[in-house]
Structures are given as structure tokens and as C-alpha cells.
């Protein structure tokens, strides 16, 4: 994942996918909009399901030169020929994941709204840090990553930052000057036309 001045799209799969149809839908999105990275983020922990999904999406992504990382299951990344892992628990597993996957792999860390956790993950060797959600949601305690956090991070820290969760076109426009990537998933996959939804949502960064 290369950092640029203009924010890039970091696409996230839905938590459930239908392997008979989702690869085609994914391919249509990747063909329509530039995507910097794809995350396989299934809710299921069933190894067979993860392996089948990884095998199905790897070709779709790699045929378009888009790196594919897996959520949580860094032990499967190398086995599936993926490009790295996204760790949802801050810095806790950054070092062991890096040791297992090597220096060339992508290792990213989601740090919620915690500046401290983000800095710890960066110091541990994370390639990027993700903060979110970017607006209040019905889940959790109502806290969210405000623009000030992204502004401070972009000014003070060299590790690229991802804004993800509860994104709207308004939040994308507000955060575009202070983030490197937008992590976009259910915001578009729940729509009838994911391509149109992504273009509308990410207009400020396209």
C-alpha cells in the first residue's frame, strides 16, 4: 500500500459473501474504481470457508494488481498466497505477525479511537494504522474517531492512516485532507449498485 497525497480506496469485503456471485461483483468494482488494497474480512472463523474465499478472491485481486490481506488470520496469509494481514486488536499481534510473514508483507492494525494504541502499533512495525468508526454508531459506546485525530496523526506520524467505519460522503469530504486511505466496505456492498455507491461515497478522493 503506497501513500499518496490523494486518499486512496482500501476496499473491505462484506462479513458474509456468496462465492458464486461475489467475485464477479468485486471484479466489477475493481475495474471501475482504483483500489489500493483489498481486505478479506469474513465474520466466520471456519478455516475451510476462509480458504475457499481466499482462493476465490486472490485471483480477482491479483489479476488487477491489487494486494489482498486477510482480517485477523495471519497464520493463513502465507498459506493462501495473500499479501498480508489486518489486525483488529491494535498492536498486540503486530510483532508476531511480522516475524511470521516477513518484512515484505503488509501488516496493518486497527486501533479504534486510541492515539496511543496507534503509536504503539506503528512502533511495533505496522505498515498502516486504521482508526474508526468515523461517526457515532449504535454499536459500542458511541465514541468515534474525530477529524482532529486524523489531523494530528497526519501531521506528526509518518505511518499511513486509514479512516474506516460509518463513512458518509460528508465524512469522506471532511477527512480527505487528513487521511491516506478510506476503508470502505458495508457502505457500498449493501447497495443495489456497489460501483455507483462507491463512486458517490468516495467522490472527494477519486
71 found inside a domain:
yes
167 found inside a domain:
yes
What CA–CA distance (Å, rounded) separates 66 from 38?
A: 7
89 found inside a domain:
yes
pTM for the full model? 0.95
3 found inside a domain:
no
The cell numbers describing 121, all together, are 502499533
∠ Cα 73 26 183 (to 5°): 60
164 found inside a domain:
yes
What CA–CA distance (Å, rounded) separates 173 from 156?
A: 21
80 found inside a domain:
yes
Structural domain of 23? 8-205
CATH no. for residue 163?
Answer: 3.20.20.70
1 found inside a domain:
no
- In this prediction, residue 118 carries a pLDDT of 98
Buried b / exposed e over 163-178, threshold 16 CB at 10 Å, is bbbbbeeebbebbbeb
- What total of structural domains would you count in the chain? 1
91 found inside a domain:
yes
- In this prediction, residue 146 carries a pLDDT of 95
The cell numbers describing 73, all together, are 488470520
> Residue-wise pLDDT tens for the chain (206 aa)?
544 578 999 999 999 999 999 999 999 999 999 999 999 999 988 999 999 999 999 999 999 999 999 999 999 999 999 999 999 999 999 999 999 999 999 999 999 999 999 999 999 999 999 999 999 887 767 899 999 999 999 999 999 999 999 999 999 999 999 999 999 999 999 999 999 999 999 886 66
Residue 56 burial by Cβ neighbours in a 10 Å radius (0-12, 13-18, 19+): middle
Look-up: residue for cell 492494525? 109
Query: Coil, helix or strand for 112?
Result: coil
Amino acid at each position: 500500500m503506497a501513500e499518496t497525497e490523494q486518499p486512496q480506496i482500501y476496499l473491505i469485503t462484506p462479513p458474509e459473501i456468496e462465492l458464486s456471485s461475489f467475485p464477479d461483483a468485486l471484479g466489477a468494482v475493481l475495474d471501475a474504481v482504483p483500489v489500493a488494497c483489498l481486505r478479506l474480512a469474513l465474520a466466520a472463523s471456519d478455516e475451510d470457508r476462509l480458504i475457499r474465499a481466499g482462493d476465490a478472491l486472490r485471483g480477482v485481486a491479483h489479476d488487477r494488481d491489487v494486494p489482498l490481506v486477510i482480517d485477523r488470520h495471519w497464520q493463513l496469509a502465507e498459506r493462501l498466497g495473500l499479501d498480508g494481514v489486518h489486525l483488529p486488536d491494535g498492536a498486540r499481534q503486530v510483532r508476531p505477525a511480522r516475524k511470521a510473514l516477513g518484512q515484505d508483507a503488509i501488516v496493518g492494525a486497527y486501533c479504534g479511537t486510541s492515539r496511543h494504541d496507534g503509536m504503539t502499533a506503528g512502533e511495533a512495525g505496522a505498515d498502516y494504522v486504521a482508526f474508526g468508526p468515523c461517526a457515532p454508531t449504535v454499536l459500542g459506546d458511541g465514541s468515534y474517531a474525530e477529524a482532529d485525530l486524523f489531523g494530528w496523526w497526519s501531521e506528526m506520524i509518518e505511518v499511513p492512516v486509514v479512516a474506516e467505519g460509518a463513512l458518509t460522503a460528508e465524512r469522506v469530504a471532511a477527512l480527505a485532507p487528513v487521511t491516506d486511505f478510506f476503508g470502505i466496505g458495508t457502505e457500498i456492498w449493501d447497495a443495489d449498485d456497489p460501483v455507483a455507491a462507491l463512486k458517490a461515497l468516495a467522490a472527494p478522493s477519486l
